[in-house]
């Protein structure tokens, strides 16, 4: 199978794999090469895959969409981090996602101020 992980600005991963394990809202699932075509919404978590060389690798992914069509498995998500070691992946996720949370909070605060300013000016009119 061809696994392709798409981020908003780049193709994060494009490799041949023999197995993909991911998590949807209703639980975990495994895709093998002869699996039927499949579409699901992914929850934030770990997506694992086995490469053609037999090595298991892991991706920490944000929520997203997974589509299996024929021999292609496409995953579209906002954020992804790759590792072969779950402990290293956990540490990296904690660092990167916590910094993202702080940036999102600052962005939401700035947006709220902007909205309040627009409403205030509209009332003045």
Domain ranges of the chain: 1-84, 85-125
Q: What is the pTM of this model?
A: 0.74
pLDDT of residue 101: 67
Q: Is 117 strand, coil or helix?
A: helix
Q: Is 101 strand, coil or helix?
A: helix
Among 2, 29, 1, 3, residue whose Cα is nearest residue 82: 3
User: Which CATH code is given to the segment(s) 1-84?
Assistant: 2.60.15.10
pLDDT digit string (tens) for 35-70? 999 999 999 888 999 998 989 999 989 889 999 999
Residue 107 has pLDDT above 80, yes or no: no
Q: Could you give the CA distance from residue 47 to residue 22 in angstroms, rounded to a whole number?
A: 5
User: How confident is the model over 7-28, as a mean pLDDT?
Assistant: 94
pLDDT digit string (tens) for 70-94? 999 999 999 888 888 888 887 787 7
């Amino acid at each position: 199978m061809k696994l392709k992980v798409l981020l908003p600005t780049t193709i994060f991963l494009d490799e041949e794999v023999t197995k993909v394990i991911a998590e949807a809202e209703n639980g975990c699932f495994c895709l093998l090469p002869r699996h039927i075509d499949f579409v699901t919404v992914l929850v934030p978590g770990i997506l694992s895959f086995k490469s053609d060389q037999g090595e298991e690798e892991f991706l920490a992914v944000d929520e997203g969409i997974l589509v299996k069509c024929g021999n292609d498995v496409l995953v579209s998500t906002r954020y992804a981090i790759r590792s072969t070691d779950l402990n290293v992946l956990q540490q990296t996720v904690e660092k990167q996602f916590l910094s993202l949370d702080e940036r999102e909070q600052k962005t939401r605060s700035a947006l709220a101020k902007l909205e309040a300013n627009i409403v205030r000016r509209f009332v003045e009119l």
